[in-house]
Chains A and B, each alone.
Chain A
Amino acid sequence: MDLSTNSVRKEGFDKVILILYLLIVTFGIMNIYSSEHSITEPFNLTMSMRTVKQLIWLGISLFVGIAIVFVVSAKLFETYSPVIYLFTEFLLIAVIFLGVEIKGSHSWFALGPVRFQPAELAKIATSLYLAAIMSYPTFSLHKWKDFITAAIIVLLPMATILLENETGSSLVFASLVFVFYREGLSGWLLVALGAFILFFILSLILPLWVAVVILASLLLVLFAFTIKKVTKRRRLRFMTTLGAIFLAGTAYIYSVNYIFNNILLDHQRKRIAVLLGIMEDPLGIGYNVTQSMIAIGSGGFIGKGYLNGTQNILGFVPEQSTDFIFCTVGEEWGFIGCLFLLGLYIALILRIILVSERAKTAFCRIYGYCLACIIFFHVIVNIGMTIGLMPVIGIPLPFFSYGGSSLLGFTTMLMIFLAILRSEKR
């Protein structure tokens, strides 16, 4: 697929994104069917089946999508983004008190048979408002006031969702750091963030003094490579900074265990411990990951064939139509299928980034980046947990996992982007 040619021009509508979207959704529904079909009964579809429900949700999503792209004026999204944002934030707080409890989290509204998760809406609202604020002509991330404003826009829903006990959805917002980076935030902040994660892991799996030695060595390497670029006048200050980083880092390394043992919740601690191999939990969270890897691994190069997987159908894989749907892909379609799906996602993200870069307005670009980051985070974390590269975080595979709220949310978010693009080209 040619990702760079602009097929938008004529009609102002990006067909490439739409096609990628439809491919992913279709493949998703096929796999949802596979994950729930009965091995002993022939093909049938009933209203109670997830496949059918997902098809209905797809219908609703496409209807909403068409309305957004062709009926609603795209300008409205920018204009009303503060209102949408505040309304969403209100819902996020309200759901804590009014929502139903599902698996320990208070993040769902139940309206009759339909359930709805405002966190899905929050991704759209936050992206829109963030794009609106950051695209303001005088906005600059180098200004403390602007930076803090932008940060609060992201952190507020993140914190609220955390209160709902939806850690996974909350963490999604962290991916917006890449938007900040694209819009001028210092790259060192990304490095620092990476360092925090790296040393968190290192402190858990290695003796603490080793982690400190690694920190010191990294800082020395940094020092050796950058010292010549620093003017003599500022060298002292540079070295002081490095020293301070070292001290702070050492303190951090020594406090990691405390954070790990006292601040994280029990199940979060377990998931990380299992991922890092410092704890065995073969019947608990380890069971899920092991079974998931067995399912994917047993698919081999070309897979066992559609509807021929054993691990998914026989119930060895947990949550096989929602969070662990990738297992079905891995088992039945094999390495080829995984590559295909991963390829579709990467193509979609790349395409979004490319058209964003070419957008006329900052609003469109920033929103596009938000979209790309959120999809990226979902895909990487979701697939990562099924193949043992990420801790188990219960977030769905975008456009793919079973779940109406998620499908509608992601479709809406994508369609808004298409609508904004289209309005720009006309």
Chain B
Amino acid sequence: MNRRAIKLIAGLLLVALIYVGRLAYIQIFNQDFTTLSQHNSLTYVDIQPPRGLIYDRNGNILVDNKFSYDLMATPKDIGKFDTTLFCSLLGVEREAVEKKLEEFRRNRRRIGYQTVVMFKNIPVESYSRFHELRWNFQGFSLRVNTMRKYPYNAGGALLGYISEVSASDLKSHPDYKQGSMIGKTGIEAVRDEELRGKVGYSIYLRDSKNKLIGSYEEGKKDLPAVPGKDIVTTIDAYLQNYAQELMKNKRGSLVAIEPSTGEILTLVSSPTISVDDLANIGQVYSSLLADVNRPMFNRAVQASYPPGSVFKTVNGLIGLQEGVVTPSTRYPCHKGYNYSRTAKLGCHEHRSPLDFEEAIMMSCNAYFCYVYKDLIENSPYGNSRAGFDKWREYVMSFGFGSPLGSDFPYELGGNIPSGDYFDRIYGVGSWRSSNIISLSIGQGEIGCTPLHLANLCATIANRGHYIIPHIVKDSPNIRIDDRYREKHYTMIEERYFDYVVEGMSMAVNSGYGSGATAPVAAVPGLEICGKTGTAENPHGAEHSVFMCFAPRENPKIAVIAYIENGGFGASVAAPIASLVVEKYLNGEISDGRKWLENNMLNLSFMERYGSVN
């Protein structure tokens, strides 16, 4: 062939080769274009999953979802549309639509490119009809709002509230998506991970004018949202509601635990947030924060109080275990205990001397001072410091002095003072039981939360062990940690608990005139075992404390009631706690105790608290 023809053909093939190379580069080797094409034409629209529900222990819904639907408009994007169809889909009058459009036109400068609500709260039927045909209406969109609904007024702050994620939430949780709801407090916050589910997306095709024109690959590549998991709590909704009512207009806490499982049946921190406020948290948030009664503050796990006389049970048990006292040991009491030549720790009027069980029954201060003195000074450990350290070790084994490890956030540890602390104050080797004698009756440097006390009550009910109190129940959806099944034994042998239990039973069931502290708590047919406490504190009147459990054998419920400035344990805390036990075990309050129930429901200390914090 002609040489020039061959050169031309060679040139042609060379050019073709360059083109093939270029095509291979942009189509095969450079993946950027694929990504860019998706940015170009695919729009990811988030699908928000329904949030998990919260149930009580009996399958009642504590926290439910409700949806509301809004029709949104982006006035800038609204083109021509079929008004008749629009009106019939949404079930609105033509005039209403025209009025709205006119409004948008008037405010066009202010609205700009924003999307605004056109019709709020449209019915769900309108929503689905419109959703089906939404492609016909450029510039209009639908919005689904998820809200929480509370069938029972039970839980309040315990449940917590949710709100849309904020910019700072998004920063701290990069896996959250704009527009998602996040639990801010309570169970909603602690179990947010499970409750929120996983946001999915639909992929839509978008044309060069930014108009959505249909699903991408018929939705095959869409990621469905994973609904949030439902949570079963250990709460008994009825009991919670009842306890909340009893605690109304009082500051304090009530905690009820099922001793055999550590499950929290009821946890009230009063005053609490009503569920109506929870649903509208946005509107009431600032007034809640300003409230002197601090309804957002969960006293039951976050407030540290002196335990008062209920703590005598602990000291008594340690005494028995250490052998410094036996059930038959008797100590005299003449209105108190002289712990030094000049100082006396007072006691109330009661017969004397008393043995161990009677001392519990009548809550004798002097008895436990003797016991405590022997624990600290007559121990086989040599000196006060060593005796004290041993005592502290015993106390800590009940879970005092550190957070129990419940599933509440920010659980407070309370305080059991250390030997070092007293060394610092009194000097090494120069303090004795007389310096710290208040500890014998649960006063002084000791601090614990109502949850600690409820746990103590459950421990006594179990005769020596507890299971960490918790509020989320094991369910097929949500498995709970093994630590909520584990038995924690105290350092006290089981047999010594019987004497305390007997004392507590006597305190309640010996009848008026016997000297018992809490006959008011007695319920015929239920052998309630209880211990009162009247905790002195620097903030005015004594705190009224009562812990009790029932029945005596195989206890089903252990309750602590702690009412700030409520006075004697027997006057407020004992009635309330016993009513809760009665309600739980009998389902109703017996006629003979209706007056007590009424008194407690109507009792208000709010004036007493005034504006004092």
**Which B residues between 4 and 21 are near A, CB-CB below 8 angstroms?**
4-5, 7-9, 12-13, 15-16, 18-20
Supposing A350-B9, A350-B12 touch, asked if A296 and B27 sit within 8 A by C-beta, the answer is yes
B213 at the interface (CB under 8 A from A): yes
B18, B135, B213, most chain A CB atoms within 10 A: B213
**A335 and B40: CB pair below 8 A?**
no
Contact with A along B357-394 (1 / 0, CB 8 A): 00000000000000000000000000000000000000
Please state if A353 and B36 are interface contacts (CB–CB under 8 Å). no
Contacts of A338 in B (CB 8 A): 23, 27
How distant is the Cα of A298 from the Cα of B40 in the complex, in angstroms?
11
* Binary flags per residue of B223-247, CB closer than 8 Å to A gives 1, else 0: 0000000000000000000000000
- How many residues of B are counted as interface, with CB atoms below 8 angstroms from the partner's CB atoms? 39
Contact at A335–B41, with CB atoms within 8 Å?
Answer: no
Could you tell me if A310 and B213 are in contact, using CB atoms closer than 8 angstroms?
Answer: no
- Residues from chain B with a CB closer than 8 A to the CB of A294 are 33, 36-37, 40
Closest chain B CB from A151 CB (angstroms): 18
Q: Is the CB of A298 within 8 A of B5?
A: no
Nearest neighbor of A318 in chain B, beta-carbon distance: B208
Instruction: Please tell me if the beta carbons of A40 and B214 are within 8 angstroms of each other in the complex.
Output: yes
Known contacts: A297-B32, A339-B23. The answer to whether A353 contacts B9 by CB under 8 A is yes
CA distance A413 to B33 in the complex (A): 38
* Chain A residues near B34 (CB-CB < 8 A): 297-298, 300
Out of A314, A316, A335, which one reaches B23, CB within 8 Å?
A335
Q: A182 near B40 (CB under 8 angstroms)?
A: no
Given B4, B20, B27, B42, which contacts A297 in the complex, CB threshold below 8 Å?
A: B27
From known contacts A294-B36, A296-B33, A314-B213, infer whether A387 and B206 are also in contact, taking CB-CB under 8 Å.
no
| With A181-B8, A182-B8, A342-B16: A387-B22 Cβ-Cβ less than 8 Å | yes
Decide yes or no whether B45 CB sits under 8 A from chain A.
no
Known: A181-B4, A182-B5. A316 touches B19 (CB 8 A): no
A349 within 8 A of B: yes
Indicate whether B24 reaches chain A with its CB closer than 8 angstroms. Answer: yes
Contacting pair A311 B2 (CB below 8 A) = no
Q: B157 interface residue, CB < 8 Å from A?
A: no
Return B239 CB to nearest CB of chain A, in Å: 58
B106 at the binding interface (Cβ < 8 Å): no
Q: Specify which of B22, B42, B214 lies most central, judged by the most chain A CB atoms within 10 Å of its CB.
A: B22
- A392 interface contact, C-beta 8 A: no
A132 to B32, CA, bound (A): 51
Query: A245 near B: Cβ within 8 Å?
Result: no
Instruction: Name the B residues within 8 Å of A275 (CB-CB).
Output: none
Q: Which of A181, A300, A316 makes the CB contact (< 8 A) with B40?
A: A316
Residues on A with C-beta less than 8 A from B23 are 296, 330, 335, 338-339, 342, 387
> CB distance B16 to A346 under 8 Å?
yes
Cross-chain contact B20 with A310 (CB below 8 angstroms): no
Contact residues of B between 255 and 278, Cβ < 8 Å to A: none
Please tell me if the beta carbons of B8 and A353 are within 8 angstroms of each other in the complex: yes
Residue B28 at the chain A interface, CB threshold 8 Å: yes
For B16, B20, B34, B213, the residue with the greatest tally of chain A CB atoms inside 10 Å of its CB is B16
Q: Is the CB of B205 within 8 A of A310?
A: yes
Question: Looking at B4, B8, B13, B213, which has the most chain A CB atoms within 10 Å of its CB?
Answer: B8
Q: Which of A317-348 contact B (CB under 8 A)?
A: 330-331, 334-335, 338-339, 342, 346
* Complex contact A301–B2 (CB within 8 A): no
- The reply to whether the CB of A367 lies closer than 8 angstroms to some CB of chain B is no
Do A315 and B207 have beta carbons less than 8 Å apart? yes
A301 and B28 in contact, given A182-B8, A342-B16 (Cβ under 8 angstroms): yes
- Pick from A182, A350, A387: contact of B26, CB below 8 A: A387
Say yes or no: is A299 at the interface (Cβ < 8 Å to chain B). Answer: yes
Across the two chains, which residue of chain A brings its CB closest to B22?
A387
Decide yes or no: A300 and B12 within 8 Å by CB, A330-B23, A338-B23, A387-B19 being known contacts.
Answer: no
A339/B20 contact (C-beta < 8 A), A298-B37, A301-B28, A357-B2 known: yes
Closest A residue to B36 by beta carbon equals: A294
Q: How far is the CA of A388 from the CA of B209 in the complex (A)?
A: 24
A293 at the interface (CB under 8 A from B): yes
Which of A293, A301, A350 meets B33, CB within 8 Å?
A293
CA distance A314 to B43 in the complex (A): 13
What is the CB-to-nearest-CB distance from B282 to chain A, in angstroms, rounded to a whole number?
40
Does B208 lie within 8 Å of A315, measured CB to CB? yes
* CB proximity of B13 to chain A, nearest CB, Å: 7
**Least CB distance, A338 to chain B, in whole angstroms:** 5
| A376 on the B face (CB < 8 A) | yes
Determine how close the nearest CB of chain A comes to the CB of B579; give it in whole angstroms.
67
User: B287 interface residue, CB < 8 Å from A?
Assistant: no
- Residues of chain B from 131 to 156 with CB closer than 8 A to chain A in the complex: 135
Q: What per-residue 1/0 map shows which CB atoms of A59-82 lie under 8 Å from chain B?
A: 000000000000000000000000
- Residue B290 CB within 8 A of the other chain: no
Q: How far is the CA of A359 from the CA of B38 in the complex (A)?
A: 52
C-alpha gap A331/B354 in the complex (Å): 97
Task: Report the Cα distance A278→B589, complex, angstroms.
Answer: 90
A40 / chain B contacts, CB cutoff of 8 Å = 135, 213-214
Quick one: closest B residue to A291, CB to CB? Answer: B40
Q: Which residues of B contact A376 (CB under 8 A)?
A: 12
B1 proximal to A (CB < 8 A): yes
Q: Does A380 contact B (CB under 8 A)?
A: yes
Given contacts A316-B208, A339-B20, contact A311 B30 (CB under 8 A): no
A178 within 8 A of B: yes
Interface residue A389 (Cβ < 8 Å from any Cβ of B): yes
Q: Which A residues are CB-close (under 8 A) to B9?
A: 350, 353
Q: Does A384 contact B (CB under 8 A)?
A: yes
Q: Which chain A positions have C-beta within 8 A of B15?
A: 380
CB distance from B6 to the nearest CB of A (A): 10
Q: Is the CB of A310 within 8 A of B42?
A: yes
Q: Do the beta carbons of B18 and A389 come within 8 Å of each other?
A: yes
Decide if A342 touches B42 in the complex (CB within 8 Å): no
Q: Give the CA-CA distance A356 to B15 in the complex, in Å.
A: 21
Give chain A nearest CB distance to B581 CB in angstroms: 67
- Is A295 on the interface with B (CB-CB < 8 A)? yes
Q: How far is the CA of A357 from the CA of B23 in the complex (A)?
A: 31
Does A256 reach chain B (CB closer than 8 Å)? no
Question: Does A130 count as interface, using CB distance less than 8 angstroms?
Answer: no
A300 and B4 contacting across the interface, CB-CB below 8 Å: no
The complex places the Cα of A182 from the Cα of B20 at a distance, in Å, of 26
**Cβ–Cβ contact B213 & A299, under 8 A:** no
Name which residue of chain A comes closest to B24, CB basis. Answer: A335
Query: Given the complex of chains A and B, what is the CA–CA distance between A346 and B2 in angstroms?
Result: 19
Contacts of B8 in A (CB 8 A): 178, 181-182, 353
Question: Residue on A with the closest CB to B42?
Answer: A310
**Contact of A133 with B by CB under 8 A:** no
Q: Do the beta carbons of B16 and A311 come within 8 Å of each other?
A: no
Distance, CA A93 to CA B206, complexed state (A): 45
Whether A298 and B36, one on each chain, are in contact in the complex, defined by CB atoms closer than 8 angstroms, is: yes
Q: Is the CB of B208 within 8 A of A298?
A: no
Q: Is A210 an interface residue (CB 8 A)?
A: no
Residue in contact with A346 in the complex, picked from B12, B27, B40, B208, CB distance below 8 Å: B12
Whole-angstrom CA separation of A221 from B446 in the bound complex: 99
Given contacts A181-B8, A349-B12, contact A296 B26 (CB under 8 A): yes
Q: Known pairs A346-B13, A353-B5, A389-B22; list 13 more (Cβ under 8 Å).
A: A294-B33, A294-B36, A298-B33, A310-B37, A310-B205, A314-B205, A314-B213, A315-B208, A342-B16, A342-B19, A342-B23, A380-B19, A389-B19
- 18 interchain pairs, CB-CB under 8 A: A182-B5, A295-B37, A296-B23, A296-B26, A298-B36, A298-B38, A300-B27, A311-B37, A314-B213, A316-B40, A330-B23, A346-B13, A350-B12, A357-B1, A357-B5, A376-B12, A380-B15, A389-B18
10 closest residue pairs by CB, A with B: A297-B33, A298-B37, A315-B208, A314-B207, A297-B26, A310-B41, A335-B27, A298-B34, A294-B36, A316-B208
